[in-house]
Amino acid sequence: MKNIKALGLLFLALMVGLAAAVYAAGWAARQSNIASHKVVVAAVDIEMGSKINPQMLTSTDWPSGSIPEGSFKDINELQDRVVKVSVLRGDAVLERKLAPAGTQGGLSAVIAEGKRAMTVRVNDVVGVAGFALPGNYVDVMVNAQQDKGKGEEGKQISKTVLEHVLVLAVAQESSRDDTKPKVVSAVTLELSLEDSEKLDLARSVGTLSLVLRNQIDKKTVATSGITKSQLFGEKEVPPAAVKVAATTTSVYKPKAVIAKPAAQPATECVEVIQNGSRFINCF
């Protein structure tokens, strides 16, 4: 009786195992029937601005229904192309991640169309303690002395001259993957040609400061700047009032002189004889 039960359990186990094997074989067959194509992916991490060579790439099977737009099938198509953004290992190399064909490697390959790269000298304070890293956005502030007008004194003013400026590189590093602060002596910014002129003038007339901003904050705020008197709450006297006051105090008004009336000449005379003396009195 015990042998019959043991044989039954063994037979049941064999049937379950056979069913599992059949199911697994059918699943594998269905998976193999899914159409796939070769897609070029990065075999290593590729830094922004780097020129691609075949050793950096490999091909892998990719399901036909989910092939990313702009992908490549042949590694040779990417020979000497330059990436304008960093590509991580295993990521598909796409056309939108590449600079135009014929572009040479380096920082110039990642500058957006119509933009310019300009470098400014910074220190640990101006450079936001090294937190202004490639890929971040900053505002540029200048502290300078205003031009003097006639009869006026030049005022010290601090004003934001540029907003939402992309940091392309710090020193000679342009990688956007590193988030560790770096205190450097120079920062390269991406600017329009007009903003490049503003920045060049600003650094020649005063001292610059970089103001770090949130990467997703694209709002601009127009300000008129702030002067020293405004900072300390002092009331500014309008130039016209000062000029009038100065003119009033410098005017000399002589005192009026009242002339005394001239003595009227005598018109009548009387001869007087007294005690043998004779004299004349005129009125």
| Residue-range domain boundaries for the chain | 1-33, 36-108, 111-231
Pick the CATH number of 36-108 from 3.40.30.10, 3.30.300.30, 3.90.1210.10, 3.40.50.300: 3.90.1210.10
DSSP code, position 222: -
Q: What is the pTM of this model?
A: 0.61
CA–CA dist 237, 270 (Å, integer): 76
Q: Can you give the pLDDT of all 283 residues of the chain as single tens digits?
A: 567 777 777 777 888 888 888 888 776 666 555 566 889 999 998 888 888 988 999 998 888 778 888 889 888 888 888 888 888 898 999 998 888 887 887 888 888 888 999 999 888 777 788 888 888 999 999 999 887 765 566 788 899 999 999 999 888 887 777 778 888 888 999 999 999 999 999 999 888 989 999 888 888 888 888 888 888 887 665 555 545 444 544 455 555 555 555 555 555 676 767 666 666 767 6
CA distances from 171 to 164, 174, 185, 187 (A): 20, 8, 7, 6
Beta bridge partners of 59: 40
Q: Are 142 and 161 in contact (CB under 8 A)?
A: yes
Residue that is written with structure tokens 């101006």 in the block = 126
CB 137 within 8 A of CB 213: yes
